[in-house]
């Protein structure tokens, strides 16, 4: 859930489609690449859910939200709230807590076997075939229910998850690890060969690994701080 305080920007998809984001919107599960186009600084705050969170809290199906930015329409957003309410963390937290209480929908039950699959698929070496066999269900059955809840099939979820794990590790960037070898990185994340690794990485990120990991700034600024920032975070 994203709440823009100023005018929302445009999104450009990988096929050059331009989408004007609503001021308040969801970001559905994405199986395509896209980038934000904005000539000015973007001011927003957001709620990030665990995988399947919209389903378990509000019964919002992942497959119906896939690759979408649906507008959030709720009168609570307009009643007694202005930009001045969001000048402090406490003001934002209070707004979000009240907003979630009023958000429409009923809790949805995520089956135990999907919860188990979500955990198993965080391991790069997990075979989907063996996972289905372990759970006693067919691949078609797993794909259908998993996509309904998560918004993508298990194989796509596994690929996205392991690439996110890869790019979030500061030691995978040239600035921190000049001797990094991508053959080692591919092996660490259970890719059978370098070409498969390069193909997946380019398909998901739009860049080849060498280009991505050369640019330290692509990583979240959370990792890019000095010792004084660390001291403040720890206190």
| Phi, psi values for residue 206, rounded to 5° | 90, -5
pLDDT for 48 beyond 50: yes
Q: Are 66 and 148 in contact (CB under 8 A)?
A: no
Secondary structure E strands in the chain: 2-4, 10-13, 18-20, 24-25, 34-37, 44-46
Give yes or no: residues 177 and 217 share one domain. Answer: yes
Strand ranges across the sheet with 10-13: 18-20, 10-13, 34-37
Quick check: is 72 in a domain? Answer: yes
The pLDDT value recorded for residue 76 is 58
Quick check: is 163 in a domain? Answer: no
Most confident of 26-40, 92-106, 136-150, 162-176: 136-150
Q: Are 33 and 204 in contact (CB under 8 A)?
A: yes
CA distance 151 to 165: 19
Average pLDDT over residues 25-35: 92
Quick check: is 158 in a domain? Answer: no
Give yes or no: residues 141 and 188 share one domain. Answer: no
**Which pTM does this prediction carry?**
0.83
pLDDT band at 73 (very low <50, low <70, confident <90, very high): confident
**More confidently predicted of 187 and 235:** 187
The pLDDT value recorded for residue 89 is 81
Average pLDDT over residues 54-73: 95
Quick check: is 182 in a domain? Answer: yes
CA distance 65 to 37: 22
Rounding to the nearest 10 degrees, give the CA dihedral for residues 206, 198, 151, 26: -30
Strand ranges across the sheet with 2-4: 24-25, 2-4, 44-46
Give yes or no: residues 40 and 122 share one domain. Answer: no
Among 47-61, 72-86, 87-101, 110-124, the range scoring the smallest mean pLDDT is 72-86
Give yes or no: residues 185 and 235 share one domain. Answer: yes
Q: Between helices 128-135 and 139-150, what is the axis angle to 10°?
A: 100
CA nearest neighbour of 121 among 205, 196, 33, 51: 51
Count of domains in the chain? Answer: 3
pLDDT band at 227 (very low <50, low <70, confident <90, very high): very low
Quick check: is 162 in a domain? Answer: no
pLDDT for 83 beyond 80: no
132-to-93, 137, 146 alpha-carbon distances in Å: 41, 5, 12
Q: Residue 127's domain spans which residues? A: 110-152
| Phi, psi values for residue 32, rounded to 5° | -130, 160
DSSP 34-65: EEEE-SS---EEE--PPTTHHHHHH---HHHH
pLDDT for 87 beyond 70: no
Quick check: is 139 in a domain? Answer: yes
Count helices and strands (H / E) in the chain. 11, 6
Rounded mean pLDDT of the chain?
86
Give yes or no: residues 128 and 197 share one domain. Answer: no
Percent above pLDDT 70 for the chain: 86
Q: Which residues contact 22 (CB under 8 A, 6 or more apart)?
A: 8, 69, 70, 71, 72
The pLDDT value recorded for residue 194 is 92
The pLDDT value recorded for residue 41 is 86
Give yes or no: residues 26 and 97 share one domain. Answer: yes
pLDDT for 230 beyond 50: no
Average pLDDT over residues 96-119: 94
Give yes or no: residues 118 and 39 share one domain. Answer: no
CA distance 3 to 16: 24
């Amino acid at each position: 859930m994203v709440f823009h305080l100023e005018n929302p920007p445009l999104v450009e998809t990988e096929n050059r489609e331009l989408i004007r984001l609503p001021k308040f919107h969801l970001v559905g599960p994405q199986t395509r690449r896209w980038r934000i186009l904005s000539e000015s600084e973007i001011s927003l705050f957001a709620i990030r859910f665990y995988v399947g969170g919209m389903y378990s809290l509000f019964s919002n199906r992942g497959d119906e939200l896939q690759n979408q930015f649906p507008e959030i329409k709720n009168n609570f957003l307009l009643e007694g709230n202005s930009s001045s309410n969001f000048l402090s963390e406490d003001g934002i937290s209070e707004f979000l807590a009240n907003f979630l209480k009023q958000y429409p929908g009923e809790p949805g039950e995520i089956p135990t076997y999907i919860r188990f699959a979500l955990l198993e698929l965080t391991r790069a070496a997990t075979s989907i075939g063996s996972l289905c066999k372990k759970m006693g269900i067919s691949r078609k059955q797993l794909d259908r229910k998993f996509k309904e809840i998560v918004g993508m099939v298990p194989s796509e979820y596994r690929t996205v998850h392991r690439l996110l794990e890869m790019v979030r590790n500061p030691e995978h960037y040239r600035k921190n690890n000049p001797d990094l070898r991508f053959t080692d990185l591919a092996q660490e994340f259970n890719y059978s060969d370098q070409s498969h690794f390069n193909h997946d990485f380019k398909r998901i990120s739009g860049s080849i690994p060498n280009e991505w990991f050369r640019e330290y700034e692509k990583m979240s600024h959370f990792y890019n701080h000095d010792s004084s920032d660390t001291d403040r975070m720890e206190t």
